[in-house]
Structures are given as structure tokens and as C-alpha cells.
Amino acid sequence: MSRALNNYEDINEETKAKILKVVDELHYIPSASARRLVTNKSNVIAVFYPSYDGMGLRQPFIIHLLDVFKIEIGKKGYDLLILSNMKEPFNRYSYLERVRHQDIDGVLLLGAPEEAIDELIAENVPVVGVDHFAVGKKVGSVTSDNRRAIHDLIVLLYHNGYRRVGFVHDDLNFPVVMERLQGFYSGMAEVGLSPESKWIFGGGFSFDGGMNVAESILELDEKPEVMVFSGDISAIGALQVFSKYGVKVPDEISIIGFDDIDAASYVYPKLTTVSQDKDKMGQLAADTLVHLIENKDINMPLHFVLPTQLIIRDSTRPLKQR
């Protein structure tokens, strides 16, 4: 029966049809464990997301991307398992051991400790990182052109008359955060502006972080003309504080986010933001990971860098594209 269910070619078509008819009538569902013994696959993909920002899976960008990823791998016959990032009671197990224990076919990384990535790659576990670059035989990655996005934004702001430019970043241990900060510095250098440390904050991607940044800005004697946030959520947190204290956006200060989450177009004023192609990122991550799982002989990593788009709304003065 298993040969018929697994569509082996060395079984008579008439016999296969009879078996499948009986299976259908009995509503038989093959044991996943038994199928693993035959196919050496679980058809399960794990997701690891440490959620250091405190928002976890409430982060809108992550939710959107995971939803697309889930749909795409579902079309290919795979299920999704989200791994816990709790230390207890797993601290005696490595990430590799946990993946092996669950018979995982591949892993989607949304940020992870380097040692976790290294041990997965060393054992040729298929891995795809989103906004997380790694090198290995069974490794792929999907990211936006983060550095270029912020660099070009700073240049555009300069040519639209902005001179006092601030920036909000997150934990610099994350590659995506470092790329955006590098884009800020390179853009400032291109237009001949000197970054002011008093306008650069580590406010993170969280709502509370954005609120804290806005409160710090209110205490400054000389305030920036525009603040560029590394994430929409923190930018929206700042908007709430400015609204509370009567600071007019964008007349007194302009606010720009990054991601273009749905809420960016619902808040007041509507948020100008750098849009990532979340649908394309999720689709490419799914396609790449399944390709790595199902093809044994892959001798080079698969990496994709996607362009971004600036969405101009009401939280900035009108910006003329160059």
C-alpha cells in the first residue's frame, strides 16, 4: 500500500487505483512517523524567531511575512513548526539537537544566535535567513537592500531641504540594523552633512522604544527637522507622543518609518515609510528553502536582495523625487 500512496512507478496502475479507492473509502491517513521511515522526510519546516524586541509574533512585519511563507510552503506540501526561544527547559539541547529531535526538514531563520546558525550549517541542515545572511552549502537568504534604501532616503531628504537629520536604530548585533545605520552614515557623507550624536538613538523596533525616543527629542534644545526610524512601529510610537504634547507633524518635525505595515496608512498623520516587498520576501524564502530541501546537490548558496520603495504620505513635507 505504501508504494501506491507514495506514487512509486513500479506498481501496476490498476492495482494502484484499487488501493487508492479503498484508502479514500476508509478515510485512511498515513502515519507521519511511518512516512518518515520510507521517505526520510517529515515535510515539516521550522521557524526560529528569537523576538528580542519584546513584541515577538505581534510584530506586524513578521506576521505578514510568515503568513505568506506558510501559504507558499503549504502549496508545496509542507507544514510549519515554530520553535520556542526559551532557554528552559531546552538549555541542555543545542538548536541542532532540537531540529533533529523534531525531524525537521529545513529551518527559516528570522534572526538567531550565531552559534545556532553555525551548527545547523555545519550539519548541512537546509537554512534560509530573512534579513540574516550566512554562508554554507545548504543556505539561502532573502533581504531588502537596506543600506541602499536608507542611503537614498537621506540623499533625497537633503535635496528637499532637510539638514537636521536624526536616525533611530535597534540592536546593532543584527545585520539588518547595521546595514540601515551604515546607509544613514553613507547618505549623510554623500551630501556633506555631519551626523549629530544627539539625534541618533537606539530606540529599537518597538512602540515603547519609539515613545521613549520622542520624549528624549522633546527635551533637546535643538531638535532635528526629520527623524528616520528603522521600523514603522517605533515611528508610530513617536507620533503618539508628539500628538500628546502638541508637536505638529510634519510642520515642526517630520517622521519616516521602515517596512510599510498596514497601520502606517491608518495612523494620523499617515506615515511616510520605506516599503519592503513582504509578499515577495515570503515567497522567495519558501521557494528557496524547499529547493534546498529537495535538491541534494547544491554547491552554492542562494541569496536574494530585493529593492525597496519610498511611500510618501503625510508625516513629511512633500518630497520631490529626484
Each residue's pLDDT tens digit, 171-215: 777 788 899 999 999 999 999 999 999 999 997 788 999 999 999
> Any residues with CB less than 8 A from the CB of 40 and at least 6 apart, and which?
none
Phi (first) and psi of residue 278, to 5 degrees: -65, -35
How buried is residue 201: exposed, middle or buried, by Cβ count under 10 Å (0-12/13-18/19+)?
A: buried
Q: What are phi and psi of 223, to 5 degrees?
A: -100, 155
Nearest-angstrom CA–CA distance, 197 and 253: 18
The residue whose grid cell reads 548558496 is 301
More confident residue, 266 or 88: 266
The x, y and z cell numbers of residue 56, run together, are 515577538
Look at residue 26 in the predicted model and tell me its pLDDT.
Answer: 58
Averaging pLDDT over each range in 95-109, 209-223, 286-300, which range is the top one?
A: 209-223
Tell me, what's the pLDDT at 132? Answer: 79
H or E element that contains 39: helix 32-39
pLDDT at 54 exceeding the cut of 80:
no
Question: All domains of the chain, ordered by start, with CATH?
Answer: 1-30 (no CATH), 43-144+279-306 (3.40.50.2300), 146-277 (3.40.50.2300)
Mean pLDDT over the full length of the chain: 85
Of all residues in the chain, what percent carry a pLDDT higher than 70? Answer: 80
